[in-house]
């Protein structure tokens, strides 16, 4: 096989590239990148607890404290480098490992951080007012509107 100068250089460059970058598709360990810091803090590999649907459901009910306004699950899968959500996720996993149920984990968070750790006020006691006021106001307004409409239509009919 005859290889011209350009072809030879391509082969040499490809070989050197393969040696420098050792992470060919599906083979061997992953190579180092040139500037790891610009990709953000180093992360740990995903664990089974990170993708556990049950734990995710719990974390979606608990607020992250980093100021993002998101729940723990959404925050940790959006800002992977946030130390706050990592700590809270770790706490959820630790409680689950202790054999606690979902409600017990949520209760433990409420006991530790106060009820403001919940993504919505619990539906009991005085908090129910918070849930019911819009519907009650709407129903009262609808009743008032119907009464007004009746009065107007009666007046129009009698005329």
Residues forming contacts to other proteins in the complex (CB under 8 A) are: 23-27, 29-46, 50-51, 61, 63, 67-71, 74-75, 77-81, 114-121, 126-127, 130-131, 133-135, 137-138, 141-142, 145-146, 149-150, 152-153, 155-157, 159
Q: Taking the mean position of all CA atoms in its chain, how far away is CA 159?
A: 62
Largest alpha-carbon pair distance within the chain? 107
Decide whether 3 or 140 has the Cβ nearer to other proteins: 140
Please say which residue, 2 or 25, places its beta carbon nearer to other proteins.
25
Lookup result for tokens 């803090």? 41
Shortest distance in whole angstroms from residue 4 CB to other proteins: 29
Please say which residue, 11 or 146, places its beta carbon nearer to other proteins: 146
DSSP structure class, residue 71: B
CB of 94 to other proteins, least distance (A): 19
Q: Which of 92, 97, 102 is nearest to 64 (CA)?
A: 92
Q: Based on CB atoms, which residue is closest to other proteins, 33 or 111? A: 33
Long-range contact pairs involving 117-122 (C-beta distance under 8 Å, separation at least 24): 117/62, 117/63, 117/65, 118/61, 118/62, 118/63, 119/60, 119/61, 119/62, 119/63, 119/71, 120/61
In the complex, minimum distance from the CB of residue 5 to other proteins, in angstroms, rounded to a whole number = 28
């Amino acid at each position: 096989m005859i290889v011209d100068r350009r072809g030879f250089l391509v082969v040499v460059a490809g070989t050197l590239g393969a040696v420098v970058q050792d992470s060919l598709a599906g083979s061997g360990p992953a190579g180092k990148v040139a500037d790891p810091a610009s990709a953000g803090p180093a992360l740990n590999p995903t664990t089974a607890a990170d993708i556990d649907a049950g734990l995710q459901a719990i974390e979606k009910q608990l607020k992250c404290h980093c100021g993002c306004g998101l729940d723990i699950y959404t925050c940790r899968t959006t800002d992977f480098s946030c130390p706050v959500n990592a700590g809270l996720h770790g706490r959820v996993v630790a409680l689950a490992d202790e054999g606690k149920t979902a409600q017990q984990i949520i209760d433990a968070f409420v006991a530790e951080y106060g009820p403001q750790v919940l993504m919505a006020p619990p539906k009991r006691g005085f908090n129910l007012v918070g849930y019911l006021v819009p519907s009650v106001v709407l129903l009262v307004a609808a009743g008032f509107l119907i009464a007004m409409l009746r009065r107007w239509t009666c007046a129009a009919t009698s005329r």
